[in-house]
Copies of this chain bind each other. A is one copy, B any other.
Amino acid sequence: MGQERVLYGYWRSSAAYRVRIALNLKGLPYESRAVHLVNNGGEQHAPDFIALNPQELVPCLIDDGHVLTQSMAIIEYLDETHPVPALLPANPEGRARVRALAQVVGCDVHPLGNLRVLQYLVSEFGLDESAKGVWSRHWIGEGLRALETMLSGHVATGRFCHGDSPTLADACLVPQLYNAIRWKLPLDDYPTIARIYEACQSLEAFRRAAPEVQADAPKES
């Protein structure tokens, strides 16, 4: 079974982490192939991988011969091809809300803190480690501030971002929180987000997707 579905990822990639969460929530087995984003000059830049994803980014999911890229598009595909349990609500307004919450992370937070962007800030503008932290915390903070308002002020927020079962929005939120914690951003101002994060971590599907338990994670991290 696993051989028919192959996820190219990296233990610490937020976007790959999202897809792992979705695959686990759906109960879909997959074979994991590590693409090391730093070693060997970045394995995402190797010709074999570029042939799969010209963006030279993880994740890339091979599902039944289809080559799929972009984590949110992959999760929507999984939701359409394996509808139970649903990762999007049934009504258009609810779906729009879940997608918007996911896109706050997927469009306006995560891409700014991506490895290639930090590498470019260092090589082109000479940023040091401390400035990378300032930059990362700024954009994560901007996103979490907006998300906290969107979540705390809405009747549809439940145990999870939308209702009482996890959705695409939670699959995007949790990896972003992992990054926030990594960059030592205090989470005191985001009580709703912190509560939802804990609810997600109580589920095995989320815990099994965590960076540290992936086969390619360094043992000492």
Chain A interface (Cβ < 8 Å from any Cβ of B)? 54-57, 66, 68-70, 72-74, 76-77, 80-81, 92-93, 95-96, 99-100, 102-104, 106-108, 110-112, 114, 117, 120-121, 124-125, 127, 131, 134-135, 138, 143, 145-146, 149-150
Contact = CB atoms under 8 A, between A and B. Distances in A.
A100 to B, nearest CB: 4
Contacts of A146: 54-56
A72 B54 contact: no
Given A70-B100, A108-B111, 6 more contacts: A54-B150, A80-B95, A81-B92, A111-B111, A121-B125, A124-B135
B107 A111 contact: yes
A131 B125 CA distance: 9
A100 B112 contact: no
Contacts of A70: 99-100, 103-104, 107
A147 B93 CA distance: 30
